[in-house]
Chains A and B, each alone.
Chain A
């Protein structure tokens, strides 16, 4: 019976108590790390806070209120919409005519009004025993005659593309291919490296001095000459694209334009 203690229960309890293992010490830093980790997980899994809930409820309530106000103010079939001054609906164009589907049409007086009786349930069918038996006429069986199939004539050979429709399709294909090529080139240009080159073109007979950052010196020198043939110091942006032999040059003057001379 439950409740009676077994004679060896005390011994078992003593055994169990004596075998209680002590957990290894938990390092305080480790304990801190566990707390921080638990807190981080909690914050990640926490539902939206009160502020967000308030915001969401407010937005939902304002939408619902706006919809209710709009339906209450615009009454179809009563002429132009009534507009409360100061309401957002005031900015909307005025409705001068009621919508067509809402115009109530009355039937002409001379026509008799035909009332249709509405049955809730279809008329009951008589039970099978009450109905007279009608025998269906037996249809004679048809003799199945297998028609002999005619030999399949070979298809005529296809004509070369002369149709105007085919020509149009071919043109469209070409146009599409050209467009795809253009888009590819634009993408390549967008991804091309823009190198900043500070170039000093040759001055009084001196050799051109070009500081090049990751750019072919030949390109940079050409860019500098093209950018400032008179020998002013300019900063030149050179764009080198893989598929173009020559770089694009965009000159940026370091001096104001009025001091550069003509």
Chain B
């Protein structure tokens, strides 16, 4: 119960802080835009990196995503949370970069941690190579679910689809991943 209360109070604090900078940020106030950036840049960077697999590309995608977000803030109506909104922009930007990318080397910087055993390393490499060969939207939904830890509702907000469509896409992505993973093994 304490954890629930702590999470709720943290959410309230974040929400009130967000309300403090959101309106000035809509008017392009630099300090408010900086607050917005400071609040979300790490999560956005992690998402871009997990989708693109390269730190440089992730930084580029993050920069473009924030630039677009700054520009689109006046049109943000608050129907979703700021987090899922900026995730959506970053996801679209990353998928656009993935489509442009032709060389196929996508997960070259996702190294396994040194503390892992040999079998675990092999397993991680197989998972990542299977993920790299998935369709972009399937990969996105798996990354959002398992690596970003978003709920179905949040994934639906990020992808702009309904809850049922989210579950359907996740199921299909799982199926495709299973096939690819077995091929990679």
Contacts and interface: CB of A to CB of B under 8 A. Distances in A.
A261 B67 CA distance: 73
A35 B50 CA distance: 20
Interface residues of B, number: 43
A9 B83 CA distance: 28
A44 B123 CA distance: 47
Contacts of B178: 6, 8, 12
Interface of B is mostly: helix
Chain A binding site: helix, strand, loop or mixed by DSSP?
A: helix
A24 B59 contact: no
Contacts of B110: 21
Given A12-B178, A17-B146, A26 B67 contact: no
A258 interface: no
**Nearest 3 A-B pairs (CB), nearest first?**
A19-B127, A23-B49, A21-B110
B146 A46 contact: no
Interface in A131-148: none
B41 interface: yes
Contacts of A18: 120, 123-124, 127
Interface residues on A, range: 20 to 34
B67 A20 contact: no
A160 to B, nearest CB: 72
Nearest to A43: B28
Contacts, number: 95
A146 B64 CA distance: 79
Given A21-B128, A38-B63, A15 B46 contact: no
Interface of B: 28, 30, 33-34, 37, 41-42, 45-46, 49-50, 53, 55, 58-59, 62-64, 66-67, 70-71, 107, 109-111, 113, 120, 123-124, 127-128, 131, 142, 146-147, 167-168, 171, 174, 177-178, 181
Nearest to A40: B67
B50 A23 contact: yes
Given A12-B174, A12-B178, A15-B123, A23 B70 contact: no
A31 interface: yes
Interface string A23-35: 1101000110011
Given A20-B50, A24-B109, A42 B71 contact: yes
Contact of A15 (B55, B58, B127): B127
